[in-house]
Amino acid sequence: MKITIKYSIILCTMLALGCTEEVANETQPEETPLTTGLSSDSTAELALSYFAHMITATDYELMGFQRMSQLDSLALIGPPMVSFALTSKGIANNNAPTLTQDTVQVVYQVGVEGDTIPNCQMELIYAENTWYVVSLGNAGEASAIATARLRHAQKHQRPASDYFLVDAPEMYTRFIGYYNEDELMLIPLQDQPQYGLAKTVPVAYSNIAPTLLDAMTNMPEALVKVP
């Protein structure tokens, strides 16, 4: 179980840190985004300069900023977090979270240079030899993730790079993950008392897995019905 996710983390980190550049340069389509051929870090840095021109007086507060002038010193806050998926199929097969099937997702926290808590976050995926910034914003979640990671890291004297994200899409829930020696631990980002989850209180994956599997397989019905 541990080998799977740790190996995945290494793979993802390699991708995130630039091992994609060689691959990306091999096949460039005629029309390419400026991010083609860049690592995820370089893409995120480039995106900062774009977003500084995209966020305006209309919505800087919705993006989590207090003043427009803060956009002059946008920076990536803390190390990026790779996102893994936790599915009912994976739990039933006794597997730890594994990489998503056809995408690699990385979340970068965005804030003002020198700050430790971000104002918002950007999410990148890797597809067709290119990193794409698929979203920017989600101020509330960015702050919740950063605060939970920072507090836990400080309390247990761990580097921020020890943490990653674990998404459980079937129950629309995102956790922060880390390893405590050999044990995969999950930090909930919201209270879900019906599953025994309390916000920011870590739980061992092995203990909560049966509950999560039950929750995922017994969702009452589809969340959305299209006429």
Residue 188 is inside which H or E element, if any? strand 183-188
In the complex, the smallest distance separating the C-beta of residue 17 from other proteins, rounded to whole angstroms, is: 21
In the complex, the smallest distance separating the C-beta of residue 171 from other proteins, rounded to whole angstroms, is: 7
Among 95, 100, 200, 211, contact with other proteins (rule: CB under 8 A): 100
User: What type of residue is 206?
Assistant: S
Number of residues in the chain: 227
In the complex, the smallest distance separating the C-beta of residue 94 from other proteins, rounded to whole angstroms, is: 16
**Count of beta carbons in the 10 Å neighbourhood of residue 148:** 19
* Per CB under 8 A, 168 contacts other proteins: yes
**HSE, side-chain direction, 13 A CA sphere, residue 74:** 26
In the complex, the smallest distance separating the C-beta of residue 161 from other proteins, rounded to whole angstroms, is: 23
User: What type of residue is 32?
Assistant: T
Separation CA 110–CA 138 (nearest Å): 10
DSSP designation for 10: H
With contacts defined by CB under 8 A, name the span among 67-75, 149-157, 167-175, 203-211 that binds other proteins.
167-175
**Count of beta carbons in the 10 Å neighbourhood of residue 227:** 2
* Closer Cβ to other proteins, 157 or 218, answer by number: 218
With contacts defined by CB under 8 A, name the span among 21-29, 125-133, 151-159, 205-213 that binds other proteins.
125-133
* Per CB under 8 A, 93 contacts other proteins: no
Q: Binding string to other proteins for residues 103 to 122, with x set by CB under 8 A, is what? A: x-x--------------x--
* Closer Cβ to other proteins, 42 or 138, answer by number: 138
Residues 6+ apart with CB under 8 A from 42: 18, 35
Residue 125 is inside which H or E element, if any? strand 120-127
Maximum Cα–Cα distance across the chain: 52
User: Site residues for other proteins, window 199-218 (CB under 8 A)?
Assistant: none
Binding site for other proteins (CB under 8 A): 33-34, 49-50, 53-54, 56, 58-59, 62-63, 85, 87, 89-90, 98, 100-101, 103, 105, 120, 125, 132-141, 144, 167-173, 189-190, 192, 194, 219-227
